[in-house]
A and B are shown apart, each in its own frame.
Chain A
Amino acid sequence: MSDKAKSTSVKVGIYIFLILMAVIYIVPLLWVFIVSFKTNAEIFSAPFSLPKSFYLDNFTFAWTAGRLGKATLNSFIVCGITLILNLLIGSMAAFAIGRLRFKLAKPCLTFFLLGMMIPVHCVLIPLFTRFAKIGLSNSLLGLIIPYLTFSLPITVYIMTGFFESMPNELIESACIDGATIYDIFFKVALPLSRTGLFVTGLMTFVGNWNELLMAMVFISDEAKKTLPVSLSKFVGPYNTNYSQMFAAIIIAILPTIVVYCTFSNQIVDGLTAGAVKG
């Protein structure tokens, strides 16, 4: 076999393998999507056919009776507020570590980075008892605080890198123009690090949006549960209506899939850029 023919056949082999991989990734998602439009009886009587009609009651039931609508809203509130606070507090600390001049900058960074190695599970119990005492359990604020704290290490790490690599001349010229340090931070440093803010914002939002354990521990009030908790509760051993449970799964993942498909390249590259630095 000539070299050229050989390399073509290798290419064909690679593509066949990758297409198989893609099938393994897409079929489960597609299956849930199709089944969620069927009635419960149809799932067992005609498992492989397309749904006879688009049966939307599954979705309305999961959205209202399964409280997924309310849960989505709660998730938005919690993750949105966490995102904003995290970007502000995280980049402030990063600015101090990367740009301001003091001896303890390196130890400060190490202190924040230790947080990345520590599993959440280890602080659940002390936080839970403390929050119960000061009335923070069962409130969205009680979820925002730990989310914010556990998002900080990665934000501080990535943003420190951005601020350190910023050219010195920009700050110097701002100083000569008579800017205060707060002007420099808000009007020079932050706008120049938009990529970093995007990357860290994305990472923390995705992480918190999918977080289950803390949300389950800190919130027991039905009306305040976030999306993963409500979903996990709705799809349980006591529910026998499969198509409703499938609809619930679709409600939980479809928004993310839509956003992902629209911005996939930026998201994938952004998240990786964050992980490469971390």
Chain B
Amino acid sequence: MDKLLRNKKTIIFFLAPGLILFTVVLFIPICQSIYYSFCEYNGLAASKFIGLRNYKELLKDKSMMFALKNSLFFLVFSCVSQLIMGLFLAALLTNINKGRNLFKNIIYLPCVLSSTALGLLWMFIFSPKLGINQVLEKFGIEGPLWLMDTSGTIILPMWIIGFVALWQYVGQSMMLYMAQISGISKSLYEASYIDGCNRAKSFIYVTMPLIKPMVATAMSLNAIGALKFFDLIFNMTEGGPNHRTEVLATHLYQQGFKYNKYGYASAIGVVLIVLCLVVTGLINKFVKSENYEM
């Protein structure tokens, strides 16, 4: 049997399709992308090496600054809000028996729906003449222009899109935390009650430390998701008004495929990839802790 499992030919047969695909469609393009980021390239003429000029231009580009700021805002906002809401919902749902599945399924539903459709849906809800403003009108209040307001450091549309993203994806975090919490043995809680904890205290002293590894996983998922963020923004505001809601992904799409500035867009892509690697590294370094026996 050992001979059967060590046969070189079979190993190559099983591994080759995946590895070839992965190398050709993922790794070679990434290297190319890094190379293009040092070039002037529009897809028609041959690429011309220009050193760091794209990166210097990035620093001067006003929409890029908006995009970077907004992406970082999403990163922080979605990590924090998903952690709090996800954990809170998971704690509530693990404490009830009747209707647990029903609520769980309702909250998880948007996770499987197309964020294009949901983005458009929320765009209508916050549009000037429909949705919330129709309700407000009934009470005689003139609603604000939700998605076009540009006052403040973090403008109103960003908070709205952040809320929609939380609404759509909190089910994912909630489920991850629920899976972890239901794996904690009941005897630990009983011991904590004997030692004088009430439910809230046992949540802080028993549950919280034991779900820390899952916090790292869920947070990395949220962080990468937040940096990749594209569909909701594209469909709710398309980066407008005046590039104020641009994020890295929408900016890359626009520069690359509307203006054909492939070199410049590649530089944005490199920034994005570096951010992804740094953030997941940081989260895993700081949130991860010693594993407890469960």
Contact = CB atoms under 8 A, between A and B. Distances in A.
B125 interface: yes
Contact of B273 (A108, A119, A212): A119
Interface in B244-260: 248-249, 252-253, 256-257
Size range of the interface on A?
Answer: 35 or more
A219 interface: no
A5 interface: no
Interface in A243-278: 245-246, 249, 252-253, 256-257, 260, 264-265, 267-268, 271-273, 275-276, 278
Contacts of B151: none
Residue of A112, A123, A210 with most partner-chain B CB within 10 A: A123
A231 B114 contact: yes
Contacts of B272: 119, 121-122
Contacts of B25: 123, 127, 145-146, 149
Contacts of B113: 210, 253, 256-257
Given A118-B30, A175-B4, A242 B14 contact: no
Contacts of B83: none
Contacts of A175: 1, 4
Contacts of B262: 125, 129
Interface residues of B, number: 91
B185 interface: no
Contacts of B6: 100-102
B234 A212 contact: yes
Contacts of A232: 116, 120, 234-235
B114 A125 contact: no
Interface stretch (B53-61, B130-138, B201-209, B285-293): B130-138
A171 B1 contact: yes
10 contacts: A21-B107, A93-B14, A117-B276, A121-B248, A121-B272, A122-B272, A125-B262, A125-B266, A210-B113, A231-B114
Nearest 4 pairs of A and B residues by beta carbon: A93-B18, A126-B29, A96-B14, A123-B29
Interface of A: 11, 14-15, 17-18, 21-22, 24-26, 28-29, 31-32, 43-44, 47-48, 89-90, 92-93, 95-97, 99-102, 108, 111-112, 115, 117-130, 132, 145-146, 148-150, 152, 156, 171-172, 175, 180-181, 185, 206, 209-210, 212-213, 216-217, 227-228, 231-232, 235, 242, 245-246, 249, 252-253, 256-257, 260, 264-265, 267-268, 271-273, 275-276, 278
